[in-house]
Structure 1
Amino acid sequence: MKSDPKECLYCQNNETLNNLMIEIAKLSVSRVFIFKEQTYRGRCLMAYKDHVDDLNLLSDDDRNAFMADVAKVTRAMQKVFNPDKINYGAYSDTLEHLHFHLIPKYKGGPDFGGVFRMNPQKVYLTDAEYEQMAEDLKKEIL
């Protein structure tokens, strides 16, 4: 089943997207978002620039560029948030647009040693806290 880009929240930049995350940067072939639900402090999401539903459909050059973008962001996350581990989640069963969840994990924190939960405790920040997080990440990314 292939989804329609006209119904894709990443392609449409719709209200659902804006309720879930905040776009902070555009990189070579991707967009970087801070996920608003912050149970996992520093959680971000990377979405491929075009409506593609799987990593294996990209050319080698585009795949390498996307993974380089992911690495650039996780390096920034490591510097800004200092997690013990960053988990990567690439789920597109129902939202068929290539995207990676980047989840910082902390020893003694939620789900360390296990699988992250998509929206576990509804931890949300103030606008000022999101702005500071975005500023800190952008300084390391760009």
Structure 2
Amino acid sequence: MVNKTCFYCDQGTELQNLMIEIAKLEVSTLYLNKDQTHKGRCIVAFNRHVKELFQLESSELSLFIKDVSNGAMILNGIFHPDKLNYGIYGDIVSHLHVHLVPKYQESSEWGDSFINSPDQKCFLSDKEYTEIIQIIQERLQQER
């Protein structure tokens, strides 16, 4: 179902300005957030437009949580954060998605929620994005 008000469904410029597709998973897509203030920050977005976890069939819910867990495990293995934060909001973008945010004790945000849209964003070069994506894709292949 295409929802013309949802950038995950539209797959257009708005989505491409915010994130880069890494891989299709079982029932979702893994994206690298272009703002890498939290190095390795990714988003796992369900492949069909739903707003809430409870709208999923039990089999879809299980597979979605597995996708989120696998993404988190891979990010943990690559970036070695002290803790991964999981953000499920949706009041602005009402398509089911989970933010995977590596956090470190020495950061100013430790002990607080991550800042979704900080004043100072950290954008990388195309080469740096490509390197991160390739490492994540390689780990995904190893897990399959």
Please, what TM-score do these two structures have when normalized by structure 2? 0.93
**1:131 pairs with 2:130:** yes
Provide the residue aligned with 2:92 in structure 1: 94
User: Deviation at 1:110?
Assistant: 3.8
In structure 2, list runs of 5 or more residues that go unmatched.
none
Alignment of 1:31-70 (within 5 A): 31-70=29-68
CA distance in 2, matches of 1:141, 1:78: 13
User: Deviation at 1:112?
Assistant: 1.2
Comparing 52-61 with 109-118, greater Cα deviation is found at 109-118
Give runs of ≥4 in structure 1 deviating > 3 Å: none
Provide the residue aligned with 1:103 in structure 2: 101
User: Deviation at 1:94?
Assistant: 2.2
Please, what TM-score do these two structures have when normalized by structure 1? 0.95
Quote the sequence identity (%): 40
Structure 2 counterpart of 1:134, one-letter code: I
User: Deviation at 1:60?
Assistant: 0.7
In structure 1, list runs of 5 or more residues that go unmatched.
none
- Across the aligned residues of Structure 1 and Structure 2, the Cα RMSD in angstroms comes to 1.0
What is the count of residue pairs matched by the alignment?
Answer: 139
Provide the residue aligned with 1:20 in structure 2: 18
Comparing 60-69 with 107-116, greater Cα deviation is found at 107-116
